[in-house]
Amino acid sequence: MSNIKKVVLAYSGGLDTSIILRWLQDTYGCEVVTFTADLGQGEELEPARAKAEAMGVKEIYIEDLREEFVRDFVFPMFRANTIYEGEYLLGTSIARPLIAKRLVEIANATGADAISHGATGKGNDQVRFELGAYALKPGVKVIAPWREWDLLSREKLMQYAETHNIPVDFKKAGKKSPYSMDANLLHISYEGGVLEDPWAEAEEDMWRWSVSPEKAPDAPTYIELTFENGDIVAIDDETLRPHEVLARLNKLGGENGVGRLDIVENRYVGMKSRGAYETPGGTIMLRAHRAIESITLDREVAHLKDSLMPKYAELIYNGYWWSPERQMLQTMIDESQQVVNGVVRVKLYKGTVTVVGRKSVNSLFDDKIATFEDDAGAYNQKDAEGFIKLNALRLRIAAQKGRTLK
């Protein structure tokens, strides 16, 4: 252990990472550099600096990464209409590659020998952090305390904190939180507590970002979203930066009860886990993006994207953002978005997001062909007969040979 002289720790300032900080100092006898990222979690981060200073940390990084997070991670993911297992919008998953990237960059800048994180040995985040770190710095040493120490209960953590004079709000920390939560600009997640029983309904006072659909306004909210190359660049004609777009949509969606989700998902490490999520802005973004694609993308391009999306989502969920296969898919996805420009009008009402209009200079929708009225010869309906017979040919031959379906 003596070969580890300096470690960069992903540090929130909370109980767990404060204990990890001291544990690293005591166990490895090393200097600790702390890194705290502002990803839009809505918490004051400066107290983390004071706690780190009180524990003797000399190099402290507190960074506002909201713009980079949405621009370089969230938006590219939404260009693919990405959802995991049909429902999850990957709010936690997509934040991990950015944190891994900064951990490695700070390690390089400070001459650190290792990086460390507070993810447990049961979850996906350990995989995501470490796959990203190894992809970006192959020889990096990773220290995962939850896989090394014996502090496997909250009681032991609290005893360790008290014994080592760790500056934690003991009154607050001594009361067991009913949920394990993670938040960033894309979502807030909840695990543990009553959610460990898949039959138990989530408690209403758990939700933090959204009103219940039952208590949402009786009048709908209409908004217009402007897309350029697959990304939202303006809301109601007001040009916004990427992180401002997502923050605005979170507010509008939350006020209308949009974006709640309660699922049981399959973790990469093998177990099933129940989680509840609030993703108001992302829910609106996904619905609107599919709407603008519906009029701008060629049918086969759209269908090919849809067929590849589950693999793309799985790569992100499992921690392979920095893999060559994800980057290959991203290149294809981004190329398809060159024509995804225009405006989508959506209605937010009591937990629902309804697309009520879409328009684009790149639209492939031709009203002269699609009309139910007289199309003045734009489409020859007689052509359909040969089209149908050719497509039925293999079915007719099989039936003639006696290969009837049961």
pLDDT at res. 174: 46
The verdict on whether 231 is a catalytic residue reads: no
Percentage of residues of the chain with pLDDT beyond 90: 85
Percentage of residues of the chain with pLDDT beyond 70: 97
Residue, of 42 and 227, whose pLDDT is higher: 227
pLDDT at res. 169: 60
Place of tokens 């177990």: 271
User: Which tens digit of pLDDT belongs to each residue from 364-394?
Assistant: 999 999 989 988 889 999 999 999 999 999 9
In this prediction the pTM is 0.94
Residue, of 199 and 153, whose pLDDT is higher: 199
Please compute the mean of the pLDDT values over residues 264-282 and round it to a whole number. 96
Catalytic entry in 12, 102, 116, 125 = 125
Torsion of Cα atoms, 251 then 351 then 222 then 74, to 10°: 50
Contacts of 88 (CB under 8 A, 6+ apart): 261, 263, 265, 275, 277, 317
Give the integer Cα–Cα distance in Å for 13 and 45.
8
Residue, of 155 and 189, whose pLDDT is higher: 189
**21 to 38, 310, 313: CA distances (angstroms):** 19, 38, 33
Greatest mean pLDDT among 151-155, 162-166, 283-287 lies in 283-287
The verdict on whether 125 is a catalytic residue reads: yes
**pLDDT-based confidence at 2, cuts 50/70/90?**
low
Torsion of Cα atoms, 396 then 400 then 401 then 403, to 10°: 60
Catalytic entry in 12, 16, 18, 360 = 16
Catalytic entry in 96, 102, 248, 326 = 96
Catalytic entry in 154, 180, 267, 294 = 180
Please compute the mean of the pLDDT values over residues 349-361 and round it to a whole number. 98
Closest C-alpha to 249, from 62, 158, 241, 132: 241
**345 to 131, 220, 246, 288: CA distances (angstroms):** 39, 12, 16, 8
**pLDDT-based confidence at 171, cuts 50/70/90?**
very low
Is 98 in contact with 73 (CB distance < 8 Å)? yes
The verdict on whether 180 is a catalytic residue reads: yes
**pLDDT-based confidence at 257, cuts 50/70/90?**
very high
Give the integer Cα–Cα distance in Å for 105 and 61.
11
pLDDT at res. 167: 63
If you compute the radius of gyration of the chain from its CA atoms, what whole number of angstroms results?
25
pLDDT at res. 14: 86
> All domains of the chain, ordered by start, with CATH?
6-66+93-176 (3.40.50.620), 182-297+340-359 (3.90.1260.10), 368-400 (no CATH)
Please compute the mean of the pLDDT values over residues 270-293 and round it to a whole number. 97
Please compute the mean of the pLDDT values over residues 53-61 and round it to a whole number. 95
Question: 148, exposed or middle or buried, with CB in 10 Å at 0-12, 13-18, 19+?
Answer: exposed
User: Which tens digit of pLDDT belongs to each residue from 31-55?
Assistant: 999 999 999 998 888 889 999 999 9
pLDDT at res. 393: 96
The two beta strands, 114-116 and 6-10, are parallel
The verdict on whether 96 is a catalytic residue reads: yes
**Bridge partner residues of 176 (DSSP):** none
pLDDT at res. 170: 45
Closest C-alpha to 288, from 349, 248, 342, 333: 342
